[in-house]
Amino acid sequence: MRFMVIVKANKDSEAGVLPDQKILAEMGKFNEQLVKAGVMLAGEGLQSSSKGARVRFSKGKKTVIDGPFAETKELVAGFWLWQVKSKEEAIEWLKRAPFEDTEVEIRQVFETADFAPSDPTGELRKQEDELRRKVEAQRR
């Protein structure tokens, strides 16, 4: 099972304040543990929303909204993509993270097989598998 682990933004992350050396070192050690255990597939911090944009799709119209965005508690400051056996395992890993005064969300990622009932011929799954192979080949 794959899980997206979503680190919520705060005033500092939205102001572009980088974590201090101690926090970066602790996070580096934690990430190293995740990699050694085969859990971490990806992980990145994100620039503040002032450097981002949103695109709203409504009734055929596309509207671009430049950041920053007001509701800091609704923003994402970073993420991981983890491969674990269960949500409980993801939670146990997350409890070991060196965070203070923040909130982190865990969400299971859909797998191709989850869409089997909507894809009786298997054609959509074949397309998805082919796209995943192409993406993986590009990363090499």
Best CATH choice for the domain 2-109 from the list 3.30.56.10, 1.10.150.120, 3.40.50.2300, 3.30.70.1060: 3.30.70.1060
Mean pLDDT of 73-100: 95
Per-residue pLDDT of 27-73, as tens digits, reads 999 999 999 999 999 999 999 999 999 999 999 999 999 999 988 87
Quickly tell me which residue has 């682990």 as its tokens.
5
Contact 90, 81 (CB under 8 A): no
Domain extent listing, the chain: 2-109, 111-140
Write down the pTM of the prediction. 0.84
* Reported confidence tier of residue 120, pLDDT bands at 50, 70, 90: confident
Report the alpha-carbon distance of residue 105 to residue 7 in Å, rounded.
7
For residues 86-102, average pLDDT: 95
- Residues contacting 5, CB < 8 A, separation 6+: 79, 80, 81, 82, 90, 94, 104, 105, 106
